[in-house]
Chain A
């Protein structure tokens, strides 16, 4: 019984959070100045046509009616229709989310793995040249504008050395003029590598420093000293004593970064012409495509709430001291 009550409570809390966030997002878009019709503006368009468009977007209704419809739609998981694409938001998202997952989620995973591995190494070898070198390099890439960094990588590795494609997720000529499934998979992977390297290089540092800090803290714990005194091999002490405990906060950050990764990244998607959701969200916000922007935020909020629940569950699994009975 008790075991069930906790998750149930979390789910209810999550739903309430979702409701509040979605309400704020609704209001935010309405309060923000800007006309959704700005994307269709044309001097030859008569006021009557503008009125027709406004009506078909549902913008001629009073705000509370719009809000009511919005809530009703959310309840039935209907995210509405994008103004710009005149297509259900769910369809637009469904087309973009897998692309985003492929790039940004793999990058999150990769930078977490890299960050945890490097973080534990430099924490273990504190004050070594390796620590200074990795921290400096990590911070350098972390602080570098990703647009610029991506451009340099594209110029060097794609344009000059011809190792990778310049941009996009697929080779359009190859795809449209006929390729086998195998070739297509290789092609996507081929396109994936450069943006993946860019993102990972730019973001592993956060994880690395977090891991390092957390590990340095854990290394002060008695059980780590004790394990050393027990004469356990260095690697065992590092990995199953110090790192194992230091990973807990890092895993929280990792799961949150996973949930955030679904939002993609505007600049990366722009420079690599990656058809992900970040650029779409940006365009939707700029063009006041309320349904599309709201849909993006809905997914992002949902993922964050899920991530927090997942973190709780993972914690109970990783740290036996935590239990939710």
Chain B
């Protein structure tokens, strides 16, 4: 008995002792400390499962691309004549030059001659050719090789060749914008590190001298992407060319990246928003620590444990008081929408889709539920992507009150032939709709059938509480009009399965609010999402969940994917947005605004990139230019 008390006393004593011990002074350093919300999945750039923003962030600091978008997404004078004026030179020294040769096109890419790998080797045309061939010959698509379609039989790239050490020639079957914004915006890997690995795998799985078969390709690819970077290739053996090198990784805890002191781009001038920055890196490196709860990373930020973190709008006020901390926000190019299953009634009626779109009061949701975090959008190209965004689309009830929206919906449905056993009634004074007086009941579709229950497939409250609330409100308004709506909370993984069933069967949903997309700066995704060949029942795993099938759209989408002139292409993209807004296979609802806070007293020259914020996987410029502020 006594000894147990002693043990407890001893433990308490130890606890106090440890609590009281002076924790060893941390060495003074200029590492940027980032609070991250999740563990890094992995660093293997070929593994498709490592597409989380955290893995991507680390990869984007290791490997680099031939071209990028300009830091501020403004036009680059050098990109005149390209399919996108915002293209920015990185490893490449010049914009690609094209020449028609017979049925094909030749694209010549000039590389800089001063790009070095971390091990001192020069980055040459060999590396570029090797990397491109990974895709072309072996079908091994690296993670950030933006355009996956390059691997397929329909690939527009015929071959790639080295002309000299710093010149690469691509032979193209056709000239497409995705070549520039896709293929040329993928990571370049060091041939001397990866070739032996790939060759060993080919030797193991490829029999005979014929072309590598599809089955063999799958074996090779899965062997390559199961390679564990950090173990099979030790962290310090990874070879990249970027500004930060992975140096230490404790899974689930932290990762340390050290600055590449010999970064090839050091001293180059970056012009951002009219201001010039010299590339560093100036900081010692990056330390990212996992905080699984935003409540805690917020405290860590306030206590000075980290230098940058994301916060919620409700936290703004507590950071506003802190002088050393600055708040920045950015609007991402996320796309959330109401997705209608056009295969089913009543979603197959345009009037019905319009009705639900009118009812979905995105302004109200943004204000009341999301606290301004989810700004409304009207197009499938979010407004932040301003070059491609069509601002002149129907706003479906913007500025209307709930009663007005409900009345509008009643009129739309009625005019299209919907009937009620008991019509909804409204209080209308001097032509102004004041309120819904009586709910509608027994809705019948124009074909005379009773309107079946319409399920709103949304994220469950435990996943995204706010979204559940919005779904419940929408359900209420639909019921007001007499539409038998039912919010059906569905986990993300389940929703994906229902939207695009594994076995290639027809999607099983009515209205989807649970799955959205993070879109690219290039609008090519419009074709990937709504082209009729993308229906899951046509191509298993396709993305056209709604089952939208419009030859007019298909043709224009295909055309836009081949149009190299940005002005011409822009018109087509505008038209495509119009068609979607008119036909409503989906109704775009909102995008996301994110808020970040950072230590302005420790580092200066922070750069808030449009669509991507002051850091992360899509702002590779930020940390190569920030500078530590001298402290005593």
Partner-B contacts on A (CB < 8 A): 32-56, 59, 81, 83-87, 95-96, 99, 110, 113-114, 117, 151, 154-155, 158-159, 162-164, 166-179, 183, 186-187, 189-190, 193, 197, 235, 239, 269-273, 275, 279, 286-288
Contact = CB atoms under 8 A, between A and B. Distances in A.
Contacts of B7: 113
28 contacts: A35-B494, A36-B493, A43-B525, A43-B529, A44-B149, A46-B151, A51-B540, A52-B217, A56-B222, A86-B42, A86-B47, A113-B7, A117-B1, A151-B296, A159-B303, A166-B296, A167-B293, A169-B253, A172-B287, A176-B247, A176-B254, A183-B24, A189-B14, A193-B19, A197-B15, A239-B1, A271-B296, A286-B493
B152 A48 contact: yes
B218 interface: yes
B197 interface: no
Given A187-B23, A190-B23, A86 B228 contact: yes
A275 B254 CA distance: 10
Contacts of A117: 1, 4-5, 8
Given A35-B500, A49-B148, 10 more contacts: A44-B149, A56-B225, A96-B252, A117-B8, A151-B296, A158-B299, A159-B299, A167-B300, A172-B254, A174-B23
B302 interface: yes
B298 to A, nearest CB: 10
Nearest to A270: B292
Contacts of A197: 15
A189 B18 contact: yes
Interface in B257-305: 287, 289-293, 295-296, 299-300, 302-303, 305
Nearest to A82: B49
Secondary structure dominating the interface of A: helix
Given A34-B496, A159-B303, A154 B296 contact: yes
Contact of A87 (B19, B24, B228, B500): B228
A86 B14 CA distance: 40
B42 A85 contact: yes
Contacts of B148: 44-46, 49
Interface string B504-539: 000000000000010010000100110000000001
Interface in B211-233: 217-218, 221-222, 225-226, 228
B250 A175 contact: yes
A173 B222 contact: no
Interface in B537-555: 539-543
Interface in B173-226: 217-218, 221-222, 225-226
Interface in B35-77: 39, 41-42, 44, 47-51
B251 interface: yes
Contacts of A96: 252
A176 B7 CA distance: 33
B51 A44 contact: no
Q: 8 closest Cβ contacts across the A-B interface?
A: A275-B252, A56-B222, A34-B493, A172-B254, A38-B496, A35-B497, A50-B541, A38-B493
A55 B529 CA distance: 24
A279 B39 CA distance: 11
B499 to A, nearest CB: 9
Interface centre among B47, B292, B498 (most CB of A within 10 A): B292
B493 A174 contact: no
Contacts of A53: 48-49
A151 B294 CA distance: 11
Nearest to A92: B251
A174 B47 contact: no
Given A47-B541, A47-B542, A174 B26 contact: yes
B296 A167 contact: yes
B539 A47 contact: yes
B221 A56 contact: yes
